[in-house]
Copies of this chain bind each other. A is one copy, B any other.
Amino acid sequence: MTTATELLQRLAGRAVGVVGLGLIGGSLGLDLRKQGIAVHGWTHRQVTAERALARGLVDQASVHPQVLHGCALVLLALPLDQLVSPPPQLLEGLPGDALVMDMGSVKGPVLASMQHRLPRFVACHPMAGTANAGVEAGVAGLFAGRPWVITPSGQEDPEDLALARALGIALGATVLECDAASHDQAVALISHMPVLVSAALLHNAASGGAAALAQALASSGFADTTRIGGGNPQLGTLMARCNQDAVLAALESYQQQLEHLRFLVLSKDWQVLQEKLSAAQALRPDFL
């Protein structure tokens, strides 16, 4: 993990607040505490607060927002819908002088909902995860080597953007910056829309007369292709809901790509089909 010198200087001895102590919030807490930074957690349920303390995710944890008092930086590690439509008690509980950053996987709608409501806000998407959720899910080193995407709107204070970058660097992540719309388009292409593509494969394989045989014969290729389609349905729905425009655009262009391949099979144009599959093979390493 990269040195946290700049982050420590910018925090000037003050604590970092984390709202939500699931996979992302808990992992943030573990890594920050390792660097000698005090972490204060605000969570919804008392049992989560106690478990987060017991696991060493945070130094202090509470169901009351007062726990965030004095924090220089507050990280919102909450489900997307709470970022897009923040409950009043969330907004009221945030310390007015802190920089607030969200950790959500869609950026345009979060910026639109948060930036005019908070004096200091930076939108960020740490692209890391595991299949786990909840207070037991946080792990050390989750962000190391993963993209840490900051999507400035242009209204941020340069010092706040510098703190957002220093946090990503301190976590060992690769800091990237882009506008929110480009981010949302990109994640629709590589993550949100593929969930639907993958889920449709499962429904299709299970719906025909050959379903039982398909189950018996399915191998690792089908398992890989359907992994994200068989993932958390709440999360998949939230991503489609909070990134609707980009997901629809990605889905429509995808349907055209697939229809072109169908046309090649239908018209027995095996030469062009093979060229398309060769091109796909050549494209893939750029995405790994």
Scoring A236, A257, A277, A281 by chain B CB atoms within 10 A of each residue's CB, the highest score goes to A277
Q: Say whether A241 faces chain B, with CB atoms less than 8 Å apart.
A: yes
Contact A221 B284 (CB under 8 A): no
Task: List, sorted by A's number, 7 A–B pairs whose CB atoms are closer than 8 Å.
Answer: A186-B210, A197-B258, A200-B260, A202-B283, A218-B288, A233-B274, A233-B277
**A281 to B, closest residue via Cβ:** B230
Q: Say whether A176 faces chain B, with CB atoms less than 8 Å apart.
A: yes
Which of chain B's residues have a CB closer than 8 A to the CB of A224?
224-225, 227-228
* Minimum CB–CB distance for A280 against chain B, Å: 4
Which of chain B's residues have a CB closer than 8 A to the CB of A248?
262, 265-266
* Minimum CB–CB distance for A268 against chain B, Å: 7
Would you give the 0/1 interface string for A181-214, flagging 1 where the beta carbon is closer than 8 Å to chain B? Answer: 0110111011100111111111111111111011
Which of chain B's residues have a CB closer than 8 A to the CB of A186?
210, 213-214, 216-217
Contact A286 B237 (CB under 8 A): no
Please, how many angstroms separate the alpha-carbon atoms of A192 and B281 in the complex?
16
**A179 to B, closest residue via Cβ:** B213
Contact B189 A237 (CB under 8 A): no
Q: Say whether A109 faces chain B, with CB atoms less than 8 Å apart.
A: no
Which of chain B's residues have a CB closer than 8 A to the CB of A261?
196, 199-200, 251
Q: Say whether A247 faces chain B, with CB atoms less than 8 Å apart.
A: yes
Which of A248-271 touch B at CB < 8 Å?
248, 250-255, 257-262, 265-266, 268, 270
Which of chain B's residues have a CB closer than 8 A to the CB of A187?
217
* Minimum CB–CB distance for A39 against chain B, Å: 26
Contact A225 B199 (CB under 8 A): no
Residue among B176, B207, B276 making CB contact with A199, cutoff 8 Å? B276
Q: Say whether A273 faces chain B, with CB atoms less than 8 Å apart.
A: yes
Which of chain B's residues have a CB closer than 8 A to the CB of A199?
261, 276-277, 280
* Given A218-B288, A237-B277, A255-B258: 4 more A-B contacts, CB < 8 Å: A198-B280, A202-B287, A230-B284, A251-B262
Using known A-B contacts A196-B262, A196-B265, A241-B270, determine if residue A286 contacts B221 with beta carbons closer than 8 Å.
Answer: no
Contact A225 B197 (CB under 8 A): yes
Contact B251 A255 (CB under 8 A): no
What are the 3 tightest A-B residue pairs by CB atom distance, in nearest-first order?
A230-B284, A233-B277, A199-B280
Would you give the 0/1 interface string for A170-186, flagging 1 where the beta carbon is closer than 8 Å to chain B? Answer: 00000010100011011
